[in-house]
Amino acid sequence: QRKARAGDGTNRPPLQVFDRVECDAHKLDARMVVMVPSPHGGSEPRKIHRLWVVAIIEVVSRAVLGYHLSLRRECSAEDVLRAIKRALTQWTPREIQFSGNAYADGAGLPSYRSTRYIGACWNEFSVDGALANICARVERPLNEVIGARVLKPQDPDSYSIRRSRDDRPFIESFF
């Protein structure tokens, strides 16, 4: 019965490119140690409990616009803001030291493939309702700077339901 309330998407308006993006964080439970450079010289071990991947996907093209990797125990508004910033700035391939073929030929996010996607804003930012996504620290810049409306389950007129995979199918299937 709960899933039936989410609807099947048939009555939603058709979207143009950059009308809506979906954002979500996915955690990888792993225990690892990262060697962090010390200001006193050398490096110090830092235990990592989780790796969070925050991604933003454009709905029509299914392109990943930006992402952020967080080493925190819980995903925060800062992590979401960093993913948004990366979605609006030019992506460049990182220098990979463990492999000579980490990127496939022609690979890259849209902002790397064409400069016209640098700073391209969207109209709607669809999230699952987690506090890191909907707090004023995230919602205010989305509304005032980007001009995007946050689609969240907490809104009374929203079609979405918290933790429903039907509301943001593209980011959920990506993870």
Spatial contact of 148 and 124, defined as CB atoms under 8 Å apart:
yes
Percentage of the chain surpassing pLDDT 90?
37
Alpha carbon distance 24, 133 (integer Å)? 8
**Residue keyed to tokens 């200001």:** 39
Q: What is the mean pLDDT of residues 111-131?
A: 88
> What pTM was estimated for this model as a whole?
0.80
- Length of the chain in residues, anyone? 175
Spatial contact of 129 and 139, defined as CB atoms under 8 Å apart:
no
Quote the tokens at residue 87.
């979605």
20 φ, ψ (degrees, to nearest 5): -140, 140
Q: What would the pLDDT profile of 134-143 be if each residue is shown by its tens digit?
A: 788 888 999 9
Q: What would the pLDDT profile of 49-103 be if each residue is shown by its tens digit?
A: 888 999 999 998 999 999 999 988 888 999 999 999 999 999 998 887 777 777 8
Closest to 92 measured CA to CA, from 68, 109, 77, 106: 109
Please, which pLDDT band fits residue 21 given cuts at 50, 70 and 90? very high
DSSP letter assigned to residue 171:
H
Average pLDDT, the chain: 83
Q: Which of 6-15, 50-59, 126-135, 156-165 has the highest mean pLDDT?
A: 50-59
- How far CA 35 is from CA of 32, 98, 140, in Å, comes to 10, 16, 36
Quote the tokens at residue 79.
């992590």
Spatial contact of 45 and 34, defined as CB atoms under 8 Å apart:
yes
The runs of H, that is alpha helices, within the chain are 77-88, 110-113, 131-134, 136-141, 169-174
